[in-house]
Amino acid sequence: MNADSEAAGSASPAPPRFFGDAALRLAGAVPRLLGWHPRDFWDSTPAELAACLTPAEPTETPLSRTELDDLLKGMDDG
């Protein structure tokens, strides 16, 4: 069994062999994901693209279970 046939059976697509392959794959996905015009993708730098695709760090601490329970008690529909 060769690497190509092993990759064909995997759940994720095979990694691109060339930079151009990866760029074309991203050029199709990024405009749909970010609402960009294709020109915006090609004009962006790798750092700009990474910044747009990296999740923002939370600025607030999430609610604790106790805080969530207290909030839900105030919304009782009963």
pLDDT in tens, the chain (78 residues): 455 545 455 577 777 788 888 889 999 999 999 999 999 999 999 999 999 999 888 778 888 999 999 999 888 664
pLDDT at position 50, please?
92
Domain boundaries defined on the chain: 16-53
pLDDT at position 78, please?
46
pLDDT at position 8, please?
53
pLDDT at position 29, please?
93
CA dihedral 19, 24, 27, 32 (to 10 degrees): -130
Rounded CA gap, 69 and 61, in Å?
16
pLDDT at position 48, please?
95
